[in-house]
Amino acid sequence: MTLPRTPSFRLDGRRALVAGASSGIGAACAVALAEQGAEVTLCARREPELRALAAEMRAAGLKADILPLDITDVAATEAALAARPAFDALVNSAGLARHTPAIDTTPSDYDAVTDLNVRAAFFLTRTVAKRLLAEGKPGSLINITSQMAHVGGPERAVYSATKHAVEGMTKSMAIEWGPHGIRVNTIAPTFIRTALTAATFANPERAAWIASKIKLNRVGEVEDIMGAVAFLASDAAGLITGTSLIVDGGWTAG
């Protein structure tokens, strides 16, 4: 018999855009894609952090450039991407959380979280896909959501709502663009140890709650997301679209 061959995990010759790349999960995703050979554009509002990460990646022999941009400005985002070649892969890791009891949530907090987590995510994904459609190219578009896109949690009504919304958006986009070879998926992490989650882990009550939920008995590290994003961006995930890769240590299983 002729042995089957595993599709390649490599991304050589492909261009990837990573939004929210200035720190944490986004930065790790950028490194993961570049390690597989992609030319990665680092996108975020914080230009000094982008420059520092790009320099470090280049020093390691990886391909990286920067695009300082606030993706909540849809017109500016569309203009910036129109000025660059099409991207074969997108990872949207830009996100915002303002955790409060639902009864105490203010309209301004609601608007800020939904503006970035839903509205900006929708139009960024659409902008990248629109270019691929115009040029007749396939692609892999990935939104970073959360385990809270599949369950609920205290003081997270708005955040959870936005992440549930992106899961629904992802399924619909996958249906529309699948015939054109464009795959759309999400990665839904558990609590990952980053600068943004430091305050949560420093709260003994919250840390105990997290520990009680993760069945693998450890919190997540950014490295836990790197393999997942490299996989979904690659040909090895060629038949995967419209779904969520939940990287949660078993949180949602229980």
Contact 139, 89 (CB under 8 A): yes
SS3 at position 97: coil
In whole angstroms, give the CA distance from residue 19 to residue 40.
10
Q: Match 């790197």 to its residue by tokens.
A: 226
Contact 30, 40 (CB under 8 A): yes
SS3 at position 50: helix
In whole angstroms, give the CA distance from residue 183 to residue 72.
23
Q: 110 an active-site residue?
A: no
In whole angstroms, give the CA distance from residue 194 to residue 152.
21
Catalytic residue among 159, 177, 191, 251: 159
Contact 44, 69 (CB under 8 A): yes
The DSSP call for residue 116 is I
Whole-angstrom distance between the N-terminal and C-terminal Cα of the chain? 43
In whole angstroms, give the CA distance from residue 179 to residue 166.
21
User: Hey, which residues are catalytic here?
Assistant: 159
